[in-house]
Amino acid sequence: MRNGKLLLIAISLLACFSSYAQEDTHLKKMTDDLVALRKAKSSNAALNKAVIDWSASGSPKITLMDEIKRDQKNEYRGKDAHKFKMNQIVTHVYNRQNIGMASKGDFFNSTEKDVFYSAIEKNIKKGCTATYTLTGHIGVQEFVFMAYNPKTKFSAVVNGKAAHPVSDKVGVLYIKLPKVKKDDEITFSVTNKSDSGESFVILNHNPQK
């Protein structure tokens, strides 16, 4: 009987962890790449590798989630901001992927047609919560939140639901939203619980269907 109960507990725990596993393989690769970038402390070599890898022939397009703007009250600017240099990476990748492309309208918007991945780096003050809103996304949405310092204590909430730790990655939170419609709002917040300002990367997979 005791062994049976332990087996049920183990199965339940496995089900919980599996529900927090990243489903989209490219989003998982980008997360792994950022973990490696963080470990390399965003060295020039690591930054160049990320740009080359993400813009390689056949790689899915990515853009900046720039339409969420800045949380004027809870974000900070300074010499220690943008530790990942994520926004520069995505800008270079975007330019390499779209060179020679004639485009009308806004650049760096996560709803750009046929661009299914977006990212942004935000710098949040100590003890503060920064909140952002997305619209125009369609389908099942996956979000990844990563702190530059793996030991940083933080939380993330998307449409009222808490993101959960990724079991094999420290300092990374993940959440999947059920299928959303184009007119739905996606509101997410990141709370920096540490005693200093911190840089966070937000990744999104938007299948647009």
Q: Is the pLDDT of residue 36 over 50?
A: yes
Amino acid (one-letter) located at 73: K
| pLDDT above 90 coverage of the chain, percent | 81
- Domain 24-205's class? mainly beta
Instruction: Report if pTM > 0.85.
Output: yes
CB 130 within 8 A of CB 69: no
N- to C-terminal Cα distance for the chain? 47
Give the residue carrying structure tokens 């750009």: 112
Give SS3 for 159. coil
Model confidence at 20, pLDDT cuts 50, 70, 90, reads low
Q: Is the pLDDT of residue 106 over 70?
A: no
